A and B are shown apart, each in its own frame.
Chain A
Amino acid sequence: MKTDIHPNRGTARGTLFALYAVLIAYALITLMPFIWMLVTSFKEARDVFKLPPSFVPTKLFTDEPFGNYTEIWTQRDFVIFFRNSAFVSFMAAIGQVFATSLAGYAFARLDLPGKNWLFALVLVTAFVPVEVTIIPEFLIMRGLGWIDTFLPLIVPSFLVGAFGTFMLREYFGSLPKDYGDAAYVDGATPFQIFWKVYLPLAQPALVSIFVIAFINNWDELLRPLLFLNSDELKTVPLGLMSFVSQYEASWTLLMAGSVISTLPLIVIYMLTQRYVLQGFVGGGVKG
C-alpha cells in the first residue's frame, strides 16, 4: 500500500494560494492610483470625469495618441522644470552623501568626547516637523540673499542629514575595526582610513542615501514653493501645480506630467536596487 509521506501538502498548497491572493489584491490596490494616473494621461480631457469611470485610454485611439505628453513637453516649460529638478535633486543628494558619510563615520569610528550626546542631538532633528523649522529657515535664507536661487534647496543638504547619519553610523559601525587598525599601523591618517578603506566599503549605503535623498528632493514641494519665485527656476512639483488653478485643472496634462516626473525615480531605483537593499541590510563585508 502506498502511503502519503507529505500528509500536509494539500493544506500547504491552500495556504500558499490564499497568500498569493492576498498579495495580488494588495498589489492591485497599491498600484491602482498609478494605473489610473497612466490611463488618465492618455485620455481626452472630457473623458476624465465620465461616469461610470473608464479605464479606456481614449486619446490612444486618436490622431495624437501622445498629445498630452507632447503638449507639456513642447508648449509648457516642463523641460525647464525637469532640468531644474534634476540639477537640484542631484546636487542635494551629493550633499547628503557628503555630509552624512563624514558625520556617520565620525560618530561610528572616531573617539570624540561627548559624541553620543551629539549624535542624539542630530537624531532629534529628524523628529522635528519641517513646518516648525521652515519659517526660521526662510528668514535665514532671506538674510543670506538666497531667495529665488537654488542655494536654499542645495546647501542645507551639505550640512546635515539625520536619517543618513544614523544609517551610515550603523553601517560604518558594522564594518570590522581591524581594517582601520591595519591601515593605521601601515601609516594611514584618519582621513585616509576613511577615504581609502571605509568609504569604498560603504558603497551600498552611500547609494541608498543618494537614491533616498534624490527622491525626497525630486518630490519636494514646500521649500521650492517658498524659496523659488521665477518661472525659469521652478522644479517639477511646482510645474505640476501650474496645471491646477483656482477655477480649472488640466487633469490629463497633470497626469502626463506626473508620469514623466515619476519615470526618473523608477529608473534610478531599478538601476540601484541591489545596492539599496544591501545598504539597508547592513555591512556584511566578505573578505
Chain B
Amino acid sequence: MATLQLDQITKSFGQTEVLHDISLTVEDGEFIVFVGPSGCGKSTLLRIIAGLDDQTSGALHIGGEEVTGREPIERGVAMVFQSYALYPHLTVFENIAFPLRLQKLPKADVNSRVEAAAQTLDLMDRLQHKPSQLSGGQRQRVAIGRAIVRDPKLFLFDEPLSNLDASLRGAMRVELSELHQKLRTTMVYVTHDQVEAMTMANRIVVLNGGVLEQFGTPMELYHKPRTRFVAGFIGQPGMNFFRATLSEVTDTGVTAIASDQSNLTAHVDGAGRSVGAAVELGIRPDDLQLSTTGDGLQVAVRVIERLGASTIMYGNLHDGTAICAALDGLARLSPGDTVHLTVDPDTVHVFDAGGLALPRRTAPDL
C-alpha cells in the first residue's frame, strides 16, 4: 500500500508537449480513475507512473520515495494492460506465476501464491488452460491475477475493460470494485468511459489535452464541475449547454437570456461579472422537469428513448438549439409534441467565456 504523488509532471515528444504540469496526490488505498477523451494523455501518464516511459520534467513519488528514473520493478507497481498481454504460449498458471518465477521464488511459494490468486479470481479450474481457451472476462481475471500475485504497492490499469462487451464490462466493474475493497491497495485506473470512472473511483482525475481539468470525487465532478469540459464530459446523458448573455447580476445569482430568448436564473456567485457578458448555461438532463403550467423552455420533441425507469427526450428549442431531458419513465410524450421544461435555478451551471464555472451557491452537501 502506498501513496502516489506527481509533482509538475510534463511529457514532450519532440516539440509537442502532451502532458502539461500535472500535479496530484493519491492517498494510500484510494481507487483513482484517470478519465478523458482519446489522446488526452491519460495512458501516457500511467506509463510514466509505471516506469515504461520517462517524464520530460517533474518528480514522481510512490510511498513517499522518489522513484523517478527507477525501473518498474523497483517502484513496486503492477500493471494490467488493455490487451491483457497474456503470453499465449503459457498456461494460465504459468502466466500468473511469471513475475514470481522472475523473482526466483521457491516452487512451493510460487504454487501457493498462484493458487491463492486463482481462488480470489475464481480461476482454479482454468489453471492449465491456454489464454486462447478463455473467455474475455477470464482473460481479464488472469491479467489481474498476474498483477495481484506480486502483492504490489500500486496497481495500474490501462483501460482493462474496453475489449469486453457491455454486460461483461458491468460485471467486471463490480468485481474490480470488490477486489479493491478486499485488497485495499492503491489503484490507478485509466479509462475513456465516464461511467466506469463514476462507478468505480474514489476520486477522478479528468484530463483534457494533457491538462488536468479537475481532480475530485465523482459527486464533486458531477455537481461542481470547475470547467465546461468537465461538466460536459461527466454525466450520462451529457449536460445541455446554451449560449446566453447575462441580463442581471444579484447577490443570489445571475439571470441570463438564452439564445432562444428565454430567461434563466442560476444561483451562482456572479461577483465581478457584468451585465451583457457572454456566458454559457449548463443544465443536466436530470434537472429538467416537464412543466404542468406551460412555463419554461419550449421544446419540440424529436426522439423519445424509453429506458423503463426514465425516459430520455431529445428535442430542440425554437431557435434550433438541441436539448436533452431525462424525464420520468412514464412521461407521456411522442415525437412531434411540443412541451415545456422547467429547471430549478439551484441546478443551473454558468460558465464564463473562458470555460470556467461560476461557483454554485447552493450545491448539494458533498
The complex places the Cα of A224 from the Cα of B85 at a distance, in Å, of 47
The complex places the Cα of A55 from the Cα of B155 at a distance, in Å, of 74
State which of A178, A196, A286 has its C-beta within 8 Å of the C-beta of B83: A178
Residue contact A187 to B79, C-beta cutoff 8 Å: no
B130 proximity list for chain A (CB < 8 A): 287
B78 proximity list for chain A (CB < 8 A): 185-186
Cβ-closest chain B residue relative to A192: B102
Residue contact A179 to B85, C-beta cutoff 8 Å: yes
From B86-94, B187-195, B290-298, the one touching the partner chain is B86-94
State which of A179, A181, A201 has its C-beta within 8 Å of the C-beta of B52: A181
Q: Mark A176-215, 1 if CB is under 8 A from B, else 0.
A: 1011011111111000100011001101000000000000
B132 proximity list for chain A (CB < 8 A): 286-287
Cβ-closest chain B residue relative to A286: B132
Residue contact A188 to B102, C-beta cutoff 8 Å: yes
Within 8 A of B (CB), among A156-183: 176, 178-179, 181-183
Within 8 A of A (CB), among B41-78: 50-52, 71-73, 77-78
Q: Does A285 sit at the interface, judged by CB under 8 A?
A: yes
Residue contact B73 to A197, C-beta cutoff 8 Å: no
Cβ-closest chain A residue relative to B156: A185
The complex places the Cα of A178 from the Cα of B158 at a distance, in Å, of 11
In angstroms, how far is the closest chain B Cβ from the Cβ of A284? 10
Q: Does B314 sit at the interface, judged by CB under 8 A?
A: no
A186 proximity list for chain B (CB < 8 A): 72-73, 78, 98-99, 102, 146, 150
The complex places the Cα of A185 from the Cα of B52 at a distance, in Å, of 8
Interface majority SS on A: helix, strand, loop or mixed?
helix
Residue contact A176 to B83, C-beta cutoff 8 Å: yes
| Known contacts A186-B146, A187-B103, A188-B102, A181 near B85 by CB under 8 Å | yes
A178 proximity list for chain B (CB < 8 A): 81-83, 85
Residue contact A176 to B72, C-beta cutoff 8 Å: no
Residue contact A286 to B88, C-beta cutoff 8 Å: yes
Cβ-closest chain B residue relative to A198: B87
The complex places the Cα of A257 from the Cα of B52 at a distance, in Å, of 58
Residue contact B85 to A176, C-beta cutoff 8 Å: yes
B72 proximity list for chain A (CB < 8 A): 184-187
In angstroms, how far is the closest chain A Cβ from the Cβ of B114? 14
The complex places the Cα of A94 from the Cα of B98 at a distance, in Å, of 28
Residue contact B87 to A187, C-beta cutoff 8 Å: no
Q: Does B282 sit at the interface, judged by CB under 8 A?
A: no
Residue ranges of A at the interface with B (Cβ–Cβ < 8 Å): 176, 178-179, 181-188, 192, 196-197, 200-201, 203, 285-287
Q: Report, nearest first, the 3 A-B pairs whose CB atoms are least far apart.
A: A287-B88, A187-B73, A186-B99
Residue ranges of B at the interface with A (Cβ–Cβ < 8 Å): 50-52, 71-73, 77-79, 81-89, 98-99, 102-103, 130-132, 146, 150
Can you sample 25 A-B contacts with CB below 8 Å? Answer: A176-B83, A178-B82, A178-B85, A179-B87, A181-B52, A183-B98, A185-B50, A185-B52, A185-B72, A185-B77, A185-B79, A186-B73, A186-B78, A186-B99, A186-B150, A187-B102, A188-B102, A196-B98, A200-B89, A286-B88, A286-B132, A287-B86, A287-B88, A287-B131, A287-B132
